[in-house]
Chain A
Amino acid sequence: MTPTPRDYSLVGRDSALAEENGLVAAKWYAVKIDRKDLKRLMRRSDSPAIRDTLIWLALLVASGAGAVYFWGSWLCVPFFLVYGVLYGSSSDSRWHEAGHGTAFKTRWMNVALYHLASFMIFREPTIWMWSHTRHHTDTIIVGRDPEIAAPRPPDLRTMLLNIFALASSWKTLRSLLRHAAGRLSAEEATFVPQNEQARVFLIARIYLVILAAVALACAVTGSILPAMLIGLPSLYGGFMAIFFGLTQHAGLAEDVLDHRLNSRTIYMNPIFRFLYWNMNYHIEHHMFPMVPYHALPKLHEAIRDDCPEPYPSTWAAYREIIPTLLRQVRDPGYFIARNLPHNVEAVPHNPGAVFKAAE
């Protein structure tokens, strides 16, 4: 396959190409589901997320307390490992679900969880709310989607740095400083509305004040323990976020108007599903983003006959993803074409990097 470098910037050549090719805010394929069934699946409830959030917070407090108790000995390491994953990785799925407003039925609970989890995953809530909105409008459309984690060729160095959220956190830190100074980047200006900008600037200042307070607490106590509990867990505990996150779209088709071809549904074990809040049903989530995380397994059953075969495990997904990413380093035109079941409706699509390649 011919290498075809793309321009992933939101203000570059492929952004204009996406417009020309009718890929912007386009009509996407959706499996037909009876309205009554879909309404049942979309129904909101507070109880699953209250239960899961209480368990999550209790585990955070317990592991954090254990880490503090054993601070200074090696015994604190397993406690920090658990605390870090709950803080720096599972906050990703909480941020995500609450951002969609589907975690709880009660609005303020979604808002509260969204802001808490945003800080924990070290993302600016307003910027990422709008970025994620665009990701759902133009999923893996080059030049439009700000959340393409594995561009072609993939940036392996950044991916490796992000095992501990280093590149992403550095980017966030620079953004915080820019926003605290009252400025948006040119790319951010393409998806953050004017009337939301003041909120971006205010929250950036609040984040910086919190980080400064943690740094001050470290200086006063002469210990990095405060930062190990607030701030640093986003880094040392962030590895499961990228582990889950890369499975969503990496290596699959670009510029297709069908989530079955650019997203993965993977069967995961119950612990992963708790940490990830069922986002392993990623085709289902993208096709019907109003369905809460706790109803995704039922949605999966409802549409599975129209979808490609799910991956039987995370391991199976990575056996595809890792070789694909390595191959894309030297052959950026390569991608995994998912097979739809026979006799299932397919949408005409642009097969990724083959269409009108950027120079």
Chain B
Amino acid sequence: MTNEWTDACAIDDIDEEDVIAFEHDGHEYALYRTEDDRFFATDGLCTHEQVSLADGLVMGTIIECPKHNGRFDITTGQTKGGPVCEHLKTYETQVRDGRLFIRTG
């Protein structure tokens, strides 16, 4: 994995208040778009039982895991409700020319 900006997707690939999965170098990321058009990126798997967060529900800046409803703040990766105990890793994002870049690594 490299510590560089990676072109992840077109911003229109993500609906408002939604999440998609993005794989890069064998690592799964979750890419989020909020209702007010801000973009965030975190690790793609829940820290509780490695379930893909891309199947979860975005509510404001909270992502809820689809399996056990564990919650994380997508802006900080912090846990916001059981059964998750371990924070989620976040990644910097940038929007350039209608595309979303994330700083991987």
Interface residues of A (CB under 8 A from B): 25, 35-36, 39, 42-44, 100-102, 105, 107, 129-130, 133, 136-137, 193, 195-196, 288-290
Contacts and interface: CB of A to CB of B under 8 A. Distances in A.
B18 interface: yes
A42 B68 contact: no
B57 A39 contact: yes
Contact of A136 (B18, B68, B85): B68
A76 B67 CA distance: 44
A88 B46 CA distance: 35
Interface string B37-76: 0000000000001100000110100001011110100000
Contact of B64 (A101, A129, A137): A101
B85 A290 contact: no
Contacts of B50: 25
Given A43-B57, A44-B57, A102-B69, 16 more contacts: A101-B64, A105-B59, A130-B82, A133-B83, A137-B67, A193-B85, A195-B85, A196-B82, A196-B85, A289-B66, A289-B68, A289-B69, A290-B56, A290-B64, A290-B66, A290-B69
Contacts of A36: 15
Contact of B81 (A43, A101, A136): A101
Contacts of B56: 290
Given A101-B64, A101-B71, A137-B67, A42 B57 contact: yes
Given A39-B18, A129-B82, A44 B59 contact: yes
B29 to A, nearest CB: 17
Given A44-B59, A136-B67, A137-B68, A130 B83 contact: yes
A156 to B, nearest CB: 32
A288 B50 CA distance: 17
A133 B68 contact: yes
A102 B66 CA distance: 12
Contacts of B67: 136-137, 289
Nearest to A105: B59
Interface of B: 15, 18, 49-50, 56-57, 59, 64, 66-69, 71, 81-83, 85
27 contacts: A25-B49, A25-B50, A36-B15, A39-B18, A39-B57, A42-B57, A44-B59, A100-B69, A101-B64, A101-B69, A101-B71, A105-B59, A129-B83, A133-B68, A133-B82, A133-B83, A136-B68, A137-B68, A193-B85, A196-B85, A288-B66, A289-B67, A289-B68, A290-B56, A290-B64, A290-B66, A290-B69
Contacts of A129: 82-83
Nearest to A107: B81
B49 A137 contact: yes
Contacts of B18: 35, 39
Contacts of B69: 100-102, 289-290
B90 to A, nearest CB: 21
A161 B18 CA distance: 48
B63 to A, nearest CB: 11
Contacts of B49: 25, 137
Contacts of A133: 68, 82-83
A150 B93 CA distance: 50
B69 to A, nearest CB: 5
Nearest to B56: A290
A290 B71 contact: no
Nearest to B18: A39
Nearest to B70: A133
A137 B50 CA distance: 11
B93 to A, nearest CB: 21
A43 B69 CA distance: 13
A116 to B, nearest CB: 18
A290 B57 CA distance: 8
